[in-house]
Chain A
Amino acid sequence: MTSLSAPLNVEFDYTRSLGPVLGRFMTGLRDRRIEGVRGDDGRVHVPPVEYDPVTARKLTEWVEVAAAGTVRSWTWVSEPDDGQPLTRPFAWALIQLDGADTSILHAVDVPSSDDIHTGMRVRVRWATDPVGSIHDIACFEPGEAVETQAGQGEAVTMVTTPVRLAYTHTASAEETRYLNGLQEGRLLGQRCPACQKVYIPPRGACPTDGVPTVDEVELPDHGTVTTFCIVNVPFLGQRIAPPYVAAYVLLDGADIAFQHLILGCDASSVRMGMRVKAVWRPRAEWQQSLANIDHFEPSGEADAPFETYSQHL
């Protein structure tokens, strides 16, 4: 049986406060001016560093450098990736700007790897609409610096840096059996061969014994509320209007409870030991997901005695 897998795209727009050093650097870029900072050994660092890399002293002497410089090393990108400065093949280069003693890493727009070499002179190609980010340098291109119209405005204090990473998320063999079972409306757990406990979802390793769970155990769709909380706080993406109850439900025959919703009754009437049963979505909507159970609701049975679930809290 092949394990289930699915695309997992992780995205986040980090908003970062820049502080006095990077803030001044980014403000400069927005105004089409490149500034570095002088270290204790006299070297001018571009991009600027907040503290001297050798003495660790705070650095404060600013030096404007040229928008042109010399390629100190380079490598070729034949297939540009999402978010990179150019969408056609280009070179990454370490570029030492005139007046600087360190190099800045950026893209150089040349047609092929035959058109770039170490020692080559390159200049900044400014972005059309600078905002105060490293992208204000669209890329570098062969040539010497040209006069630019300096911009001006409020100091730049924040930068937004989007991160987009694509993964394939794979379920374990045990989780795959469980998810395929849900598709058929079945709740499949597994028993640990060492401690005999029944886990749902089953685990790649029993967290007590460190061995995979093996024997399949089909569990009923009713059980006991072991503990719960009443959600009163609204949040982004919430599907149900508060107040409502999120609870741990211990299915009969299982040794570990899982979290689900308790609906179909007043939130204030939910209690530890309450007996509940699953309310399934219409069969046509079933997927490889616990969301096939829309929620649990009171079954009307008498409450379970505390001793029956006290070891599962």
Chain B
Amino acid sequence: MRDVAVVGFAQAPAVRETHGTTNGVEMLVPVFHEVLGGLGLAKSDIDFWCSGSSDYVAGRAFSFIAAVDAIGAFPPINESHVEADAAWACYEAWVKIQTGEVDVALVYGFGKSSAGKLRRVMTMQLDPYTVAPLWPDSVSVAGLQARAGLDQGIWTEQQMAEVAVRSRADAKSNPLAQVKGDVTVDDLLTRPYLADPLRKHDCAPVTDGAAALVLAAEDRARELAERPAWITGIAHRVDSANLGGRDLTTSPSTVAAARDAGFDKVDVAELHAPFTHQELLLRNALGLNGSRINPSGGALCGNPMFSAGLIRIGEAARQISGGHADRALAHATSGPALQHNLVCLMEGRD
């Protein structure tokens, strides 16, 4: 295996609504400028580009092709795309570097979630024969999952509110976060339900955003970064598409991905949990005791569709490159109620 590290990361501000198009160009141009400029790289130094986005979020076909304009794709570039969170584009880029064909890859994701009614757009992820025709939305599906854990005493509404309070407090030091500030558990629990048992604070905001991350192999990584975040393992697994056939209170696919990635113990974890109970679920499933969770504020404080998972990898890598952690775990999710999960483990080497 080749040693591969995250050497650079940048993201657009997480905001409720941008004025740009759904092809992400306006958000991506400054993000590329920042991440390449920070590394002293030109676009010609990138051997492979890989993106994650969704035409359902954009409401148009081939939006990811229009996004390639932001790169400046002449002379022709080596490019690929996944219709999934860009964390999965990161996985593809890591595999591409393993083939030995490329040394430096730029991974990016974007989504203008505000273009449509996001919770309804996400219905298109569900079984198209027996579930999607009824139009259950993504918040309702998460509500079914939250209730299952509450009923079984696995988590409480109090604990869920505590996750929101801690996330918003941590987000105060994240200049790009959308939701931040000081709130109390008691106050949050007096607020009305959005989708009983979920209150507004239990749900990630609707966010427009984009992010880019640079991966480099071996000596190239050592040249580009003072303290590269070396990827020691990356894996993804998926649970059944049949919601009613799953135990929604745990996540076998996350556990399997973590095991395959070689998870043992980390200083910090960035978990892609768009709902408060999902953070509790993931912490339980992974046994994350004593690790700092989501110092960025996490997806609850900014959830740009199709880049929020990639941002977890970027934020975890930043903890290592900044010297705040030696070992970090990043998690990304896709599909309804944590159906598909990716775990990326990174370490700093001194």
Residues of A at the B interface (CB closer than 8 Å) are: 2-3, 8, 10, 14, 16, 18, 22, 25-26, 43, 45-47, 49, 53, 72-77, 81-85, 92-94, 96, 102-107, 113, 118, 133-135, 159, 161, 163, 165-173, 175, 203-212
Contact = CB atoms under 8 A, between A and B. Distances in A.
A169 B22 contact: yes
23 contacts: A16-B129, A47-B244, A74-B147, A75-B144, A81-B137, A102-B244, A104-B244, A118-B151, A134-B129, A135-B134, A161-B133, A165-B117, A166-B116, A169-B22, A169-B115, A172-B25, A203-B25, A204-B25, A206-B72, A208-B73, A210-B29, A210-B32, A210-B43
Q: Which interface residue of A103, A134, A167, A209 has the most chain B CB atoms within 10 A?
A: A167
Interface centre among B127, B144, B248 (most CB of A within 10 A): B144
Interface in B4-37: 19-23, 25-26, 29, 32
A10 B131 CA distance: 20
Contacts of B22: 167, 169-170
Given A73-B145, A167-B115, 6 more contacts: A47-B130, A94-B244, A161-B128, A165-B117, A165-B124, A204-B29
A159 B129 contact: yes
Contacts of B129: 16, 18, 22, 26, 47, 134, 159, 161
A34 B260 CA distance: 39
B39 to A, nearest CB: 16
Contacts of B23: 204
Contacts of A102: 242, 244-245
B189 interface: no
Contacts of B198: 75
Interface string B113-156: 01111001100100111111111110011011111100100000
B245 A134 contact: no
B196 interface: yes
B244 A170 contact: no
Contacts of B151: 73, 118
B133 A135 contact: yes
Nearest to B72: A210
Contact of A75 (B68, B73, B131, B196): B196
B69 interface: yes
Nearest to B133: A161
Nearest to A53: B240
Interface in B245-267: 245, 248
B112 to A, nearest CB: 8
Given A47-B242, A75-B196, A159-B129, A210 B70 contact: yes
A16 B29 contact: no
B243 interface: yes
Nearest to B240: A53
Interface string B35-76: 000000001000000000000100110000000111111100
Chain A interface secondary structure, helix, strand, loop or mixed?
mixed
Nearest to A113: B196
B233 interface: no
Contact of B59 (A10, A53, A118, A212): A10
Contacts of A85: 134
Nearest to A83: B135
A16 B114 CA distance: 30
Interface string B322-339: 000000000000000000
A2 B19 contact: yes
B195 interface: yes
| A45, A210, A211: residue with the most chain B Cβ atoms closer than 10 Å | A210
A136 B137 CA distance: 20
Contact of B19 (A3, A18, A43, A118): A3
B59 A167 contact: yes
Nearest to B242: A49
A74 B69 contact: no
A204 B244 contact: no
A53 B59 CA distance: 32
A19 to B, nearest CB: 9
Contacts of A113: 193, 196
A171 B66 CA distance: 13
Given A81-B137, A84-B134, A165-B59, A73 B147 contact: yes
B206 to A, nearest CB: 13
Max count, chain A CB within 10 A of own CB: residue among B20, B23, B134 = B134
Contacts of B248: 73
